[in-house]
Amino acid sequence: MAKQYETVIGLEVHVELATKTKIFCSCSTSFGGAPNTHTCPVCTGMPGSLPVLNKQVVEYAIAIGLAANCEITRMCKFDRKNYFYPDNPQNYQISQLYLPIARNGYVEIETGDTKKKVRIHEMHMEEDAGKLVHDEWDDTSIVDYNRSGVPLVEIVSEPDMRSADEVLAYLEKLRLIIQYLGASDCKLQEGSMRADVNLSVREMGSGKLGTRTEMKNLNSFKAIARAIEGERQRQIELLEEGRAVVQETRRWDDNKEYSYAMRSKEDAQDYRYFPEPDLVPIVIDEAWIEKIKMMQPELRDEKLARYKKEYDIPEYDARIITESKRMADIFEKAAAICNNPKKVSNWLMVETLRLLKESGMEPEGIRFSPENLAKLVKLTDSGDINSSVAKQVFVKMFEENIDPESYVKEHGLSTVSDEGELLAVLEQVIADNPQAAADYKNGKEKALGALVGQTMKAMRGKADPGQVNRRLKELLG
Amino acid sequence: MDICSMTALELGKKIQQKEISAVEAVKAALECIEDREPEINSFVTVDAEGALKRAEEVQKSIEEGTIVSPLAGVPVGIKDNMCTKGLLTTCGSKILKNFKPTFTAEAVRNLERAGAVIVGKTNMDEFAMGSTTETSYYGETRNPWNPAHVPGGSSGGSCAAVAAGECTYALGSDTGGSIRQPSSFCGVVGIKPTYGTVSRYGLIAYGSSLDQIGPVGKNVADCAAVLEIIASHDKKDSTSIDRKDYDFTSALVDDVKGMRIGIPRDYFLEGLDCEVKENILNAVKVLEDKGAVVEEFDLSLVQYAIPAYYVIASAEASSNLSRFDGVKYGYRTETYEGLHDMYKKTRSEGFGAEVKRRIMLGSFVLSSGYYDAYYLKALRTKALIKKAFDSAFETYDMIAAPAAPATAPRLGESLSDPLKMYLGDIYTISANLAGLPGISVPVGTDSLGLPIGMQLIGNCFEEKKIIRAAYAYEQTRADAGKGAD
């Protein structure tokens, strides 16, 4: 019988914090400026410059630590990690090794029907490096320091995960916590959330951990799942062939679906960490922690529980809506304004998700405001517009966040409640379609549809189809 | 009226009273530089054009009444490890031979706000590593009292320039005695303030946790006046301290009655030149005669200060100096193949022997497996040394000590034996390890005519006590503030 293997996975997750300015200077963190425009002597490591810690970084880190059930280190310090690379302007990175800001936490994940805790070993604050651009044409590299000094936290888990599903659930959990805190937008594709996977395999039932590898360059959830499966297979094959897994760092190539060895443990650099002498220790007292706790928003799990109690919407819908902070915010605000959570939920679950999917957008990128969505719900509730007009208006709102009330008015889309105008049109339609009218009178129910269609066309969609139906039946009855 | 022999406060006063203009003052300094530089070599860069232009501007501001500082218009030399916008800043190294900073160090900006006129950047041991100003890529500086001798270091250029009258006062930096020891060798006054008193922003770091900028002047009053200007709470330097007592000139009082002065026995044992010892004990006697209470005591752990210092300073230096890699600014080797070759050749060619020695030493003590045995142990030793001083300051207002074991050695004598050079720092480095303020004040000369300085070390934030005692002592000397001929 073939041996059964268990996969053991731990994660190192880097998250770019959503501060307006960098961790040690007042340069902007905004993405996409012309190269080296968001820079100053500090983040380009000019001689004589000194770092000054951005307090907001510490507050975000404490908030994440608390939400992940960590112990907050009351006196934490920064250390220097020394290594030479051109994207690292000082040739050392200011990070934390000896006294990281948070330790010993956990988050709870759900896969299928099972719940489990993934423990967090530690979380530390550090600065991001610049970006190297390689010019293949004239074989040079150019460096852009705009990203240099953007604040990061690195969250290091214990090796508590056993499958790609658990890894994805863990990442999703971290993403939700951090997005809800407003501490980061956590976009894997844009690199504001990056995960390195530490993976080993062992025979089922063995108490000893196997030799692990670390995989880098994983920039989507799908890539992570494929990389885990690929690496698991590779390690099992090695063991089956009686060969050993080498402790090393590997780079995942998602196109080739294969990982390549980058450097082995023997080549690992000695970072010569030591306490950063240019920064003073950060003393975090109870009052500061309490203040951050007070400001902590409702997190996803709490929100989900509250939705079940407060709103009459299916649990499935509540889950989807709360998976995005933006979506949940829109839902709650719009529901409160129009007092119709069910309709608001429907708009989000059907039309919003459809349009997001079509345009390849994330829910966090939704542009329309809750106020406008509430207006749209009100317009349909009152019968001012019919459902097909509402859909048209919604598309416009999704694209440009237009105000549905003024849009309907400007484009003359509101349902005509003027019975006189409707009656005139109906009489005209009947007169123009004598055959259909006759068919209906002779018991052909279907013929009515054609008349309703003609009427709606003549009214340029501004009639309520129910009303048209009723009136037609009366006239032909 | 010999402008170059005036103290900074004297010259500043004459400028304020319109007896001398700022332009005349800077011209006098530039003439003196032209005359003395071939022999002394105190400067890496002399900015004659910039200084004259600046002097005109300052003179205008003085006349308009927009600058009223006591030192407005007085020529100053800035050690070449402090950034000056647009003006070459080399740290005495080849690796920064073309480096013009984009901003000015905070301490220098404070001086500029007070109307200082920078005549140039003074020579120094490469990256402040050395005690003789011989490790500079730009040639050694010579002692104005006797050009066959070194001026001390690493702020040897600043001290020699002031002693020779090339500038009226100067800024130095002190990581292990680099202001106090050359001040002693050059017969000038130098203060190393309490760590955190003067902003380090714009000071190119050697040992960040030990570095401190301070004044070099012809007398105690000048140093107090300069310190009053350069000291500030700077938010750009996280280790800068918000002090409420920047009025250092208020301590210029000729009265030491009842002040308790401790003499650490360990500092006066073998290894100390007997002429130096005699001169310092005589100076202490003068203070005693003026009413100070003098007492010998045992300061423990003295022998551990040097190893602890060289481990910590070198460790920090190995990291601080890693940014000099030829990528962004400074010297880059001419031919190379690929990134690593460029790094290696640039750094091999750009740094001198002493800097490389300390980078290697620092990298070694931080490397995995040695960190606890060296770096961590040195940090513990540092904490214990601080404790020993804390307990001494429970009894004494200050400690009197030599600034160096001997007077200035001859050129070339120290470089051959780095270990001996390191041991020469024994009396000064403890103040850096413990963050304490120290002053060196001239107390006489040896039989060769070379100056001897007495060091007074105070408790943290008690600059005023050592300024007061040094000032009171200085009042008894007819030759105070004269400099070298």
Residues A190, A217, single domain; the answer is yes
Residues of A with CB under 8 A from a CB of B: 41, 44-53, 80, 82, 84, 86, 89-92, 141, 143, 270, 272-274, 277-280
Quick count: other Cβ atoms within 10 Å of Cβ A88?
Answer: 24
pLDDT in tens, B374-406: 999 999 999 999 999 999 999 999 999 999 999
pLDDT of amino acid A386: 83
Of B124, B128, B147, B152, nearest in space to B38 by CA = B147
Chain B CA closest to residue A268: B368
Tell which phi-psi region holds residue A165, choosing left (phi > 0), alpha (psi between -120 and 50) or beta: alpha
Tell me whether residue B482 is one of the annotated catalytic residues: no
Higher per-residue confidence, B62 vs A219: B62
The answer for residues whose C-beta is within 8 angstroms of residue B135's C-beta and 6 or more apart is B92, B125, B126, B129, B153, B352, B353, B354, B355, B415
* Overall average pLDDT of the A213-219 stretch: 90
- Is B387 within 8 Å of chain A by CB? no
* Overall average pLDDT of the A61-89 stretch: 96
- Is B368 within 8 Å of chain A by CB? yes
Q: Detail the DSSP E strand segments found in B138-291.
A: 169-174, 189-192, 212-217, 260-264
Where does the pLDDT of residue A458 fall: very low under 50, low under 70, confident under 90, or very high at 90 and above? confident
- Percentage of chain B with pLDDT > 70? 100
- Is B102 within 8 Å of chain A by CB? yes
pLDDT of amino acid A412: 76
Q: What is the CATH number of the domain that holds B132?
A: 3.90.1300.10
The interface pTM score, or ipTM, of the predicted complex is 0.96
Report the gap between the CA of B417 and the closest CA in chain A (Å): 29
Compute the distance between CA of residue B479 and CA of residue B477 in angstroms, rounded to an integer. 5
* Overall average pLDDT of the A232-258 stretch: 92
Does some domain include residue A309?
yes
pLDDT in tens, A152-180: 999 999 999 999 999 999 999 999 999 99
Higher per-residue confidence, B442 vs A437: B442
Residues A70, A126, single domain; the answer is yes
Chain A CA closest to residue B241: A280
* Identity of residue B201: Y
**Token digits for B249?**
């000139």
Position A1 pLDDT exceeds 60: no
Of B136, B176, B158, nearest in space to B411 by CA = B136
Does some domain include residue A411?
no
Tell me the whole-structure pTM to 2 decimals. 0.90
Compute the distance between CA of residue B7 and CA of residue B447 in angstroms, rounded to an integer. 27
pLDDT of amino acid B166: 98
Higher per-residue confidence, B335 vs A412: B335
Where does the pLDDT of residue A416 fall: very low under 50, low under 70, confident under 90, or very high at 90 and above? low
Report the gap between the CA of A267 and the closest CA in chain B (Å): 14
Of B209, B392, B156, nearest in space to B296 by CA = B392
Q: Which of B239, B316, B323 sits opposite A90 (nearest CB)?
A: B323
Position A470 pLDDT exceeds 90: no
- DSSP code per residue over A178-225: HHHHTS----TTTTSEEEEEEEEEEETT--S----EEEE---SHHHHH
Residues A94, A26, single domain; the answer is yes
Where does the pLDDT of residue B1 fall: very low under 50, low under 70, confident under 90, or very high at 90 and above? low
Does some domain include residue A222?
yes
Residues A259, A311, single domain; the answer is no
* Helix, strand, or coil (residue A156): strand
pLDDT in tens, A291-303: 999 999 999 989 9
* Overall average pLDDT of the A63-78 stretch: 97
Backbone angles phi, psi at A251, to 5 degrees: -110, 125
Residues A112, A72, single domain; the answer is yes
Compute the distance between CA of residue A313 and CA of residue A316 in angstroms, rounded to an integer. 8
Sign of CA pseudo-dihedral A409, A413, A417, A421: positive
- Is B82 within 8 Å of chain A by CB? yes
pLDDT of amino acid A397: 94
Q: Domain tally for chain B?
A: 1
* Helix, strand, or coil (residue B351): coil
* Overall average pLDDT of the B333-362 stretch: 96
Does some domain include residue A296?
no
What domain range includes position A459? 419-476
**Token digits for B102?**
């984009």
Place of tokens 């041996």: A3
pLDDT in tens, B20-39: 999 999 999 999 999 999 99
Residues A323, A282, single domain; the answer is no
- Is B316 within 8 Å of chain A by CB? yes
Residues A170, A35, single domain; the answer is yes
Residues A72, A218, single domain; the answer is yes
Q: Give the range among A88-92, A184-188, A397-401, B231-235 with minimum mean pLDDT.
A: A184-188
Higher per-residue confidence, B42 vs A405: B42
Catalytic residue among B14, B79, B192, B382: B79
Catalytic residue among B155, B178, B183, B440: B178
Quick count: other Cβ atoms within 10 Å of Cβ B35?
Answer: 14
What domain range includes position B204? 1-485
Residues A9, A48, single domain; the answer is yes
Report the gap between the CA of A238 and the closest CA in chain B (Å): 31
pLDDT in tens, A328-377: 999 999 999 999 999 999 999 999 999 999 998 888 889 999 999 999 99
Chain B CA closest to residue A275: B316
Compute the distance between CA of residue B474 and CA of residue B481 in angstroms, rounded to an integer. 9
* Overall average pLDDT of the B445-470 stretch: 98
What mean pLDDT, rounded, does chain A reach? 91
Does some domain include residue A300?
no
A84–B102: do the CB atoms touch at under 8 Å? no
**Token digits for B181?**
């020891």
Cis amide bond preceding B363, omega within 30: no
* Helix, strand, or coil (residue B173): strand
* Helix, strand, or coil (residue B348): helix
Where does the pLDDT of residue A425 fall: very low under 50, low under 70, confident under 90, or very high at 90 and above? confident
Where does the pLDDT of residue B410 fall: very low under 50, low under 70, confident under 90, or very high at 90 and above? very high
Of A265, A176, A171, nearest in space to A218 by CA = A171
* Overall average pLDDT of the A40-58 stretch: 97
Q: Nearest-5° angle of CA B280, CA B281, CA B283?
A: 65
- DSSP code per residue over B366-401: HSTTTTIIIIIHHHHHHHHHHHHHHHHHHH-SEEEE
pLDDT of amino acid B302: 86
Q: Nearest-5° angle of CA B202, CA B206, CA B207?
A: 110
Q: Which of A41, A90, A274 sits opposite B322 (nearest CB)?
A: A90
Q: Give the range among A443-457, B25-39, B56-70, B222-236 with minimum mean pLDDT.
A: A443-457
Chain A CA closest to residue B365: A272
Choosing among B173, B320, B339, B345, which should be mutated to test the A contact, i.e. which has the most A CBs within 10 A? B320
CA B244 to chain centre: 24
Tell which phi-psi region holds residue B334, choosing left (phi > 0), alpha (psi between -120 and 50) or beta: alpha
* Overall average pLDDT of the A423-432 stretch: 86
* Overall average pLDDT of the A131-144 stretch: 87
A280–B319: do the CB atoms touch at under 8 Å? no
- Percentage of chain B with pLDDT > 90? 93
pLDDT of amino acid A441: 85
Does some domain include residue A414?
no
* Overall average pLDDT of the A202-206 stretch: 91
Q: Which residues of B touch A280 (CB under 8 A)?
A: 238-239
Of B102, B15, B203, B155, nearest in space to B440 by CA = B155
**Pairing between strand B75-79 and B169-174?**
parallel
Where does the pLDDT of residue A474 fall: very low under 50, low under 70, confident under 90, or very high at 90 and above? confident
pLDDT in tens, A269-282: 899 999 999 999 99
What mean pLDDT, rounded, does chain B reach? 96
Sign of CA pseudo-dihedral B463, B464, B468, B469: negative
Does some domain include residue A175?
yes
A41–B103: do the CB atoms touch at under 8 Å? yes
Does some domain include residue A299?
no
Tell me whether residue B79 is one of the annotated catalytic residues: yes
Chain A CA closest to residue B236: A52
Position A420 pLDDT exceeds 80: no
Catalytic residue among B42, B131, B154, B430: B154
Q: Domain tally for chain A?
A: 3
Report the gap between the CA of A156 and the closest CA in chain B (Å): 21
Q: What is the CATH number of the domain that holds A463?
A: 1.10.10.410
Q: Nearest-5° angle of CA A17, CA A198, CA A267?
A: 100
Tell me whether residue B154 is one of the annotated catalytic residues: yes
